[in-house]
Structures are given as structure tokens and as C-alpha cells.
Amino acid sequence: MLVICKFKRAISCEDLFTITETPLGLCYTFNSHDLVKERGPLLSYHSGASNGLYMRLNVNQSQYYSSLTASAGFRVNMTD
């Protein structure tokens, strides 16, 4: 699913997500409570593409998991 993932264009971030199985499929959480307790929060203090979280996603239809639907896609929720 994550083809490319960078934080501040320098840190490879594939291991910075917590994965949870839900009725809608897999939920990937960045800066989850558990990971923040381990290493502190990852923060960005500047705007722009090179200062935040960059992800390229591939739906991988053949590997898709969901107990509610046969379709595939992404839902992205951003909070601060």
C-alpha cells in the first residue's frame, strides 16, 4: 500500500505507522498514542512539501482486505 513514505523528505516512515484491523479494512495511524509514548511525537514546524508527511499509495486490489465491501480505495483523515 505505501509505495513511498517520507517525513520531512529525509526519514523513511514505513515503520512510523500503527496498523489496526477494522471492519472497513486496515487502518494505518501516524503518530499513534503507543508510538508517541515510545519516541515522542513527530512534528513539522514549517509548511511545504519538503517539511511534512509525503506518501504515495497503491491500492493493490489483489491484496485488498475488507469484511464489508468488495471495492477498494483509501479514506484519509487528518487531524491536528
Domain ranges of the chain: 2-63
Q: What is the chain's pLDDT, residue by residue, as a tens digit (80 residues)?
A: 778 888 887 677 777 888 888 887 778 888 888 888 988 988 888 888 788 888 888 887 776 665 566 677 788 887 76
The answer to whether the beta carbons of residues 53 and 17 sit under 8 Å apart is: no
Per DSSP, what are the bridge partners of residue 57?
2
Report the pLDDT value the prediction gives residue 65, as an integer from 0 to 100. 61
Cell of residue 55, nine digits: 506518501
CA distance 16 to 55: 12
Report the pLDDT value the prediction gives residue 5, as an integer from 0 to 100. 86
pTM of the complete model: 0.70
Cell of residue 75, nine digits: 479514506
